Amino acid sequence: MKRLFLYLLAIALVVGLVPVSTDAAPKEMKVHFINVGQGDSILIQAPDGKNILVDGGPKSAGKHVVDFLKSKGVKKIDYVVATHPDADHIGGLIEVLNKLTVTNFVNSGREHTTQTYFELLTLVDNKNINYVEPEKAEILLGDFTSDFYLQVLYVDPLAKDSNDASIVIRTGYKKVDFMLMADASVEIENYLMDSYDNITADVLKMGHHGSNTSSSARFISNVKPSIGILSYGRNNSYGHPHAAIEARLKKVGAKTYKTAVDCDITVTTDGVKKSVSNSCTKPAAKPVSPKPAKPAPKPVTKPSPAPVLQTNFKNCTELRKVYPGGVEIGHPAYQSKMDRDKDGWACE
């Protein structure tokens, strides 16, 4: 009977009774960097339909995160990743777990005593969500032969500092890769460079909201991103992002996007090409007023000479008072002795 059905189906295809689709929609991967103020929250939508949420911002951003997820058609989250227990990364996840179905909860495992962390882990337990503490280099989704993968490059549950417990995620689709650094410091960046043969990525979510405790010039030069994402709150008290970080991205030719400026940022890729969109629109142009009549010419006065900025400094502390982001090679104030990592940028 089965053979007869297949035989009849083949005949139908040949004579055109059954249409054959030749324009199936191409699969895409979308990575959304959600504007949660001073914090991190990233939604990964895999080509096969899986949804991964990496952090949820502070507690005050929980509703916005849930609303954003629903606007993208998310009804179930396959993996929620809490990179480390700081409130600006996990607070919003409480609202997420309360409002949406979550299959797996991935946690750094670092002990923390805050009420927010306790409330989050209690929710995971009460809702019987599968709890996972990953290991370094563990692949959570896909494998080395898959078009799509999700891998933990780093995690340390015993780290003295909660930032250095951060789960660092590398994910990608075909030829386009993303690296999500959470709040990982320069020391972790050095570990990654020493431990992996290849850490290049097309899109790099900068560590620790653009703080100069992360994103060393050497690390950015190794990753070679074409897109850098900075997630931080406008007018934050930490001075994030620090000027040196943006300068390093510019030096490698990366285009920088910022949640405080661009709002929710989405990178879409078909595995070869990628595009970036954001939810903030440019303000409408102001109407042009008629030009006023030109006033009578004033007597020409010789301009005062421009002040000469200091170019010789005893140390980097003194230099940064004049040039907060440091100086690059070729600048009159550049001194090789202040360029300790020999990257062509002094006192960054």
CATH number for the domain including 149? 3.60.15.10
Q: What is the pLDDT of residue 316?
A: 78
Could you give the number of structural domains in the chain? 2
Are residues 121 and 50 part of one domain? yes
Helix, coil or strand: residue 254: coil
Are residues 339 and 240 part of one domain? no
Q: How far is CA 313 from the centre of its chain?
A: 36
Are residues 254 and 154 part of one domain? yes
Q: Do the domain assignments include residue 192? A: yes
Encode the chain (348 residues) as per-residue pLDDT tens digits. 444 444 444 444 444 444 444 445 679 999 999 999 999 999 999 999 999 999 999 999 999 999 999 999 999 999 999 999 999 999 999 999 999 999 999 999 999 989 999 999 999 999 999 999 999 999 999 987 899 999 999 999 999 999 999 999 999 999 999 999 999 999 999 999 999 999 999 999 999 999 999 999 999 999 999 999 999 999 888 999 999 999 999 999 999 999 999 999 999 999 999 999 999 865 433 433 334 444 444 444 444 444 446 778 878 777 777 777 777 776 777 787 777 766 667 777
Q: Which of 200, 197, 216 is nearest to 208 (CA)?
A: 216
Are residues 335 and 265 part of one domain? no
Q: What is the pLDDT of residue 343?
A: 63
Length of the chain: 348
C-alpha distances in angstroms, 215 versus 91, 194, 221, 254, 283?
Answer: 25, 15, 10, 13, 32
Are residues 235 and 107 part of one domain? yes
Q: What is the pLDDT of residue 286?
A: 40
**Which of 278, 308, 334 is at the close of a domain?**
278
Are residues 336 and 195 part of one domain? no
* C-alpha–C-alpha distance, residues 203 and 163, integer Å: 21
Q: Check if the beta carbon of residue 171 is closer than 8 Å to that of residue 44.
A: yes
Q: Do the domain assignments include residue 198? A: yes
**Which of 225, 259, 278 is at the close of a domain?**
278
Q: Do the domain assignments include residue 300? A: no
Q: Check if the beta carbon of residue 168 is closer than 8 Å to that of residue 159.
A: no
Q: What is the pLDDT of residue 289?
A: 39
Which one-letter DSSP state was computed for residue 253? T
Q: Do the domain assignments include residue 246? A: yes
Q: What is the pLDDT of residue 304?
A: 44
Q: What is the pLDDT of residue 4?
A: 47
**Which of 255, 278, 301 is at the close of a domain?**
278
Q: Do the domain assignments include residue 13? A: no
pLDDT digits (tens, 9 = 90+) for 71-99: 999 999 999 999 999 999 999 999 999 99
Question: In the chain, at which residue ranges do the beta strands (DSSP E only) sit?
Answer: 29-33, 42-45, 51-54, 76-82, 101-107, 130-132, 139-141, 148-154, 168-173, 176-180, 203-205, 227-230, 255-258, 265-269, 274-278, 327-328, 345-346
Are residues 223 and 335 part of one domain? no
Q: What is the pLDDT of residue 38?
A: 95
Are residues 151 and 102 part of one domain? yes
Q: What is the pLDDT of residue 276?
A: 97
Q: Which domain holds residue 102?
A: 29-278
Q: What is the pLDDT of residue 43?
A: 98
Q: What is the pLDDT of residue 287?
A: 38
Output helix, strand, coil percentages for the chain, rounded to the nearest 5.
Answer: 30, 20, 50
Are residues 102 and 205 part of one domain? yes
Residue with tokens 């504007």: 35
Q: Do the domain assignments include residue 259? A: yes
Q: What is the pLDDT of residue 323?
A: 72
pTM over 0.85: no
Are residues 327 and 224 part of one domain? no
- Burial zone of 247 (CB within 10 Å; 0-12 exposed, 13-18 middle, 19+ buried): middle
Burial code (b: 16+ CB inside 10 Å, e: under 16) for 123-162 equals bbeeeebeebebeeeeebbbeeeeebbbbbbbbbeebeeb
Q: What is the pLDDT of residue 305?
A: 44
Which one-letter DSSP state was computed for residue 208? G
Q: Do the domain assignments include residue 290? A: no
Are residues 337 and 216 part of one domain? no
* C-alpha–C-alpha distance, residues 232 and 183, integer Å: 12
Q: Do the domain assignments include residue 289? A: no
Residue with tokens 């510019």: 250
Are residues 158 and 92 part of one domain? yes
- Burial zone of 271 (CB within 10 Å; 0-12 exposed, 13-18 middle, 19+ buried): middle
